[in-house]
C-alpha cells in the first residue's frame, strides 16, 4: 500500500506511517502530541487521545504480527464537530475490538487475568468505534472521541 490510507489530506488533519515496534510507537505519540498541541485540544481530550493511540498501536504491534517481521502501521487524526477521530490501518491479523469479550471486573489481584484491560479503557473513552477488514487483508479502525 502506498500513500496516505486515509484519503486526501485535509488542512489540520495529521497522519503518520510508523514501524511496528517501540520506536514507531514513540514517533507516533510524539507526532500526535505535537498535532494536539497545535490544535489547542483540551487536556481531557488530549489524555484520552494519547491513551487510545498508545493502546491501539501497542496491541497492533504486540499481537497483529505473530510471524514477526517489519510492517508499517498507519495512523491519523482529524477533528470534526465536537469530535476527534483517531484512525489506524495495518496488515496484521484481523481483529475487531468491538467483538472482543469484555472482561469482568475482579475484586482481587490474585484472581485478575493479565491483559485485556486496555480495550476497556478504549471503549470507555470512545464515542464510537468503527472497524473494517478490507478485501486486501487490512484492518481499518477508527476510534471517535468526544471533545468540548
Q: What is the CA radius of gyration of the chain?
A: 15
Q: What DSSP state is assigned to residue 8?
A: S
> 70-119 pLDDT, tens per residue?
999 999 999 999 999 999 999 999 999 998 877 656 565 555 455 556 88
Strand extents, DSSP E, the chain: 14-19, 72-80, 83-90, 128-133, 139-146
pTM: 0.85
Residue 101: predicted pLDDT = 77
- Taking the C-alpha atoms of residue 24 and residue 134, their distance in angstroms, rounded to an integer, is 23
Amino acid at each position: 500500500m502506498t500513500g496516505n490510507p486515509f484519503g486526501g489530506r485535509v488542512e489540520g488533519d495529521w497522519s503518520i506511517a510508523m514501524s511496528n515496534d517501540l520506536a514507531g510507537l514513540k514517533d507516533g505519540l510524539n507526532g500526535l502530541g505535537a498535532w494536539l498541541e497545535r490544535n489547542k485540544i483540551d487536556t481531557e481530550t488530549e489524555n484520552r487521545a494519547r491513551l487510545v493511540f498508545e493502546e491501539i498501536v501497542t496491541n497492533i504491534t504486540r499481537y497483529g504480527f505473530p510471524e514477526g517481521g517489519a510492517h508499517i502501521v498507519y495512523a491519523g487524526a482529524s477533528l470534526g464537530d465536537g469530535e476527534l477521530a483517531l484512525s489506524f490501518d495495518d496488515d496484521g491479523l484481523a481483529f475487531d475490538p468491538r467483538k472482543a469479550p469484555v472482561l469482568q471486573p475482579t475484586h482481587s489481584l490474585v484472581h485478575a487475568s493479565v491483559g485485556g484491560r486496555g480495550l476497556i479503557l478504549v471503549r470507555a473513552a470512545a464515542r464510537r468505534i468503527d472497524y473494517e477488514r478490507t478485501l486486501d487483508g487490512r484492518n481499518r479502525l477508527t476510534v471517535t472521541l468526544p471533545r468540548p
